[in-house]
Amino acid sequence: MTEMTVRDALNRALDEAMTADDRVLVLGEDVADPAGGVSGVTKGLSTKYGDDRVLDTPISEAAIVGAAIGAAVDGLLPVAEIMIMDFIGIAADQLINNAAKLRFMTAGRTTAPITIRTQVYAGLATGATHSQSLEAWFMHIPGLRIAIPSTPYDAKGLMKTALREPNPVVFIENVKLYGTRGDVTEEEYSVPFGEARVLRAGSDVTLVAISGTVPEALAAADELAAEGYSVEVVDPRTLAPLDTARLAESLRKTHHMVITHDAYRTCGVAAEISQRMMECAFDYLDAPVARVTGLDVPIPSGPSHLSVVPDRVRIAEAVRGVLN
């Protein structure tokens, strides 16, 4: 095992994949050296593999994703970067009406094995059009896979799976987590899609945490443990497919559930998870499922931005409320 950051784990996954398979290529804005991506995830790759496999593109998200789809149809394995998730709407038609539908509309004869890397800046004072967590948009679209890791181990393992997935993958990285450190095995491995991970075992309440809220959820669980509450923290790791069975298994044990994510509350991932729990584990609930999410407002810049995304204080309050 080697300790590394989420950023390094993603870089390592891409490096190893490009070494193992010359069909893998990277494209996006400023992905080549010396920038190596706005957050450094692709740093060193263009120097090692050349500009025919690490392509700096014009500032056009639709062109980036469209080119990736064309490359995939032609037999390549493109990794396309949308620098900030707020901009992914510009490529929505390419993703929703082309990539996601290709396998269905050709009766399986043609697929679009593309990986769309995109970054979320929630909680970093980057303003209303650079801070949104929009993963729920793409959960609604059949044919897309959504990976959203929170640890270095999962980041590398899920990226390896994404690069072998025949369907298009939206791979969501939270910039707040890039510096998070953790152990990653040097051996070849992958993390299967659709398998949630229990980060902390508990017996009183299931706390489902997604992406950037995972550290806050774990901190809240530590605080609550000092008060005598046993909190089980579960990270879904992928949202499509979503591991409903594992979440329901935890709920049947604890009889309480709180769900937290940075994204907006209305029609968010928490709403979908909550409804699934109603359908498959309602008889085990001793209280309504609680949601701790971003507020339904444009995200401001400056210090006030912290008031609209979840933190350990809000999460701990929600857990106390559910249990009491």
Q: Is the pTM of this model over 0.75?
A: yes
Q: How far apart are CA 116 and CA 94, in angstroms?
A: 11
Instruction: Residue 291: name the closest of 188, 213, 190 by CA.
Output: 213
Q: How far apart are CA 205 and CA 74, in angstroms?
A: 49
Q: Where along the chain do the CATH 3.40.50.970 domains lie?
A: 2-184
54 - beta bridge partners? 26
Q: Where along the chain do the CATH 3.40.50.920 domains lie?
A: 197-323
Q: How far apart are CA 285 and CA 38, in angstroms?
A: 44
Q: Which residue out of 130, 255, 261, 305 is catalytically annotated?
A: 130
Residue 256 falls in the annotated catalytic set? no
Measure CA 58 to chain center: 25
Q: pLDDT digit of tens for each residue in the chain (324 aa)?
A: 999 999 999 999 999 999 999 999 999 999 999 989 888 999 999 999 999 999 999 999 999 999 999 999 999 999 999 999 999 999 999 999 999 999 999 999 999 999 999 999 987 878 889 899 999 999 999 999 999 999 999 999 999 999 999 999 999 999 999 999 999 999 999 999 999 999 999 999 999 999 999 999 999 999 999 999 999 999 999 999 999 999 999 999 999 999 999 999 999 999 999 999 999 999 999 999 999 999 999 988 877 777 889 999 999 999 999 999
Q: Give me 106's structure tokens.
A: 């050709």
Second CATH level (architecture) for the domain 2-184: 3-Layer(aba) Sandwich (3.40)
Question: Which class is domain 197-323?
Answer: alpha beta
> Of all helices (H) and strands (E), which one includes residue 169?
strand 169-174
Q: How far apart are CA 91 and CA 77, in angstroms?
A: 18
